[in-house]
Structure 1
Amino acid sequence: MKLEFPVEDISKIRLAHRLTSILTNDGKLYITGTNLKTGFGSDLTEFKQYPQFKNNNTIIQEIDCGKDLFVILTQDNEIWVQGIFNGIKSDKTSVITKIQTGTNLINDLSTYNQIKCCDRYSMFFFQSNSYLTQDLENLLKNGYFSDCNIQDIPVHKILIETRIGKTFDLIKKYLESNCKLNEIQDLLKWIYCDQMINLKRTNEILNHFGIQNAQKTKLLKNDLKQLLFNEQTSDFKLVVKNEDEEEEEEELYIHKFILAARSGLFLNMFQNLEENLQKVKDYSGKSLETIELLISFLYTDELPITADTDQEFIKEEFEDIVEYYQLNPTIPMMDIFEKCFKK
C-alpha cells in the first residue's frame, strides 16, 4: 500500500467494511478501499486525498466510518456525510452531503468535537465542551470574583466586554430592556462556554452588537488571548522570580477570575487574601518561563510551543505543576502536549 505522506504525520485512522481513512495532523483526509465511491471509482488501491476537500482550506478535525457511511467534522463545525445515514437508504453513496444544524438530524446546540458512526443506518454526534469551557461554566455558576450583575446574575465585566466588544453599561442596558431572563442566560452560556442553547435568538442578540457568524468568528479561547498578560485589563499581579536575572522578579498581569476558575490553588489563595491586596508572590519554585506557559494554558487550553522549546523540560515541569496548582484532574495533559508539539 502506497502512502503519500509520512507516517508520523498521522492523527487518526478509521477502519470500516472495505474502507480505510487517515486524518493527518494538519487536517487533511486520505482514503482507500472499495466501500464508498469517493470520486476515484469503486476500487481504490492507494491512499488518495479526499477529493472534495483537496483544493480548499478546509481543516478536518474528526472522522468516522461505518459499513456504508462516512462522516467528516470540520474545524468550522461543518458536518459532511456520505453513504446511508440516519435511517435514509440511498444508492447515491458517491454524493457527499453537508448536514445543516437545526434539522431533524442535528439540533442547535453549539459546536461538536466528536462524531461517531453506530451502524450502517445511524449517525451519532457528541457535543463536548473543552476543559476551558467546563471550568468557566463552573465559574459562571459559582460567581467567583464577579464584579457586576446582569438581572441579578453575577458576571465578570471584562469578559463580557471582551466577548461582545461593547462597554458593559451598554450591554447591560440593552439586555435588561430587550431580553427575557432565559435569553440572557443563554447569551451568558455563549460568553462563558461557547455554547448556543437557542441558536436563533442568541445570534439575533449578537447581531445587534455587530457580531456576525459568532460560532466561526468569535471563539472563546481567541478572545481570552486578548486578556493574556494584559496590563490594562488585569486586576492582579503574580510576582515570579526571574532566574535569568539574579535577585530580579517579574510581575505578570493576570485576571483573578480566570486563574481561580482553572486552578484550585489559585482559587483558595484568592479567597483568603485581604481584599485590598493587589499582588502575591508565586512560591512554586518554577521558572518564569514555566509560569508563563502555565498561565497561557489556563487562558487558552494551549501551550505556545515553538521550535526552540525544550519539550522534555516542559513535560517534566508540567507534570509537577498540574498537581501543585490543582488543575482539573480530568485534563489529559499528555494529549495536550502531543497536540501542541505537533503544531
Structure 2
Amino acid sequence: MSLGPYPAPVHVAGAAGPPGRTDADVIILALDRAEDTIAAIASARAQTGLAKHVWVADQGSKPENLALLAAAVGDAPDATLVRLDRNWGVAGGRNRATALGTGRCVFALDNDAEFATADTLARAVEALDDEPDIAAVACRIQVFATGAEDLSSWGYPPSLLPRAAGAFDAVTFVGAGHGIRRADFEAAGGYDDALFFCWEEFDFALRAINAGQRIRYRGDIAVRHKVSGEHRFSWSGTRWFHFVRNRLYIGMKYGTGALALMPRFLAYQVKGARNGVLGQGLRAGLAALKLARAFRPPAGQEALYRLTPAAQAYIAANDAAHRGGMAKRVRAEILSALPSAAKS
C-alpha cells in the first residue's frame, strides 16, 4: 500500500513532466471511453489561476482508443499520457498516477467528469491552503447534463442532502472529483491497492481522521458527472462483490471483529439476494476475511489503524449522528449507495 517506487510507465504523449513546480497535479485514469476522457482532459487543461499539470494514466484501453487519447494530448506542455503495465483499478491506479507528479496538491477527476467552472481547481487548492487540518476537499458532484445532484455519487448521510450546496465535515469523499494535499496523502500511505475499487476513499479518510485531520465537503466547488444516477450501478460483473468485500475488510482493518460486522454482512446478503447476486455477497465475506488476515500495517503507520477516541468522536459527530441507530444506519448506507440499482 506504499506510494512506490513503482515501475516506470510507458510514456505515450505530451510532456515528460512540468517544466517547474506546480500547485496541483490533476490525475485522470483512462480505460477506453475515449470521448469522455478527452473531454475530461480538455476541462483539466482549461483550469486557470494556478500552476498545474495533467497526468493521464491509461490502464489498458484498446489500441484505437489509446491512439485517440494520444492524438488529443499531442505535444501538450501541460499534460502527459502514460500507459500503466496493467489495470490496477481505481485505488492502485490513483496511487501510481499520483506518484508521477510533484505538485503540492493532487486533484483526482473521473474520466467521465468535467470541472464545473474554469476556477474550480484553483478554489479546491485554496480551500486546502486555508485550512491546514483538512486532508481532503470533497467536491459537489452534479449531473453533467442538468446540474442536478448526482444522487448515485452522494456518499454522505441522506439527511445532509439538503445541504448539498453548503459545506460540512465528513468521514469520506467521492472519488469523481476531490483534492488532497500531497504531503497528507503520503503520510497516510495513499490508497490500499487491495481494494481495487469501491470504498478506497473511506479507507483513506479513516487514516487521515485518525491522524487528527478533517474531510471537508464543499458544495460550492463542483464537478459535473456524465454517468446517470439511474443507471450507474450494474449488478453484472463483480461490482457487488467489491462493494461488500471492501466494506467488511475495512471494518476489520480498523479493529472491528467479524462477529460485530455480522449485521452488516447479513443486510448485504438480503440486498444481494433481492438482486440476483447472492453468490457475489457470500464470496465477498470469505474474501474480506482473507484480506484482513493477510493485512499488516506498513511499518511506522500501525497507529493509523486503531481509531483514537478523538477519531471516534469525530466520526460520531459527523456521520453517525446524521444516520440514527445501527439498524437504520446499515439499511440507509446500502440503499443510499445504490439509489436506483437495476431491478433484474
User: Could you say which structure has the larger radius of gyration?
Assistant: 1
Greater helix share, 1 or 2? 2
TM range (shorter): under 0.3
TM normalised by structure 2 equals 0.27
Q: Larger relative contact order (C-alpha < 8 A, sep ≥ 6)? A: 2
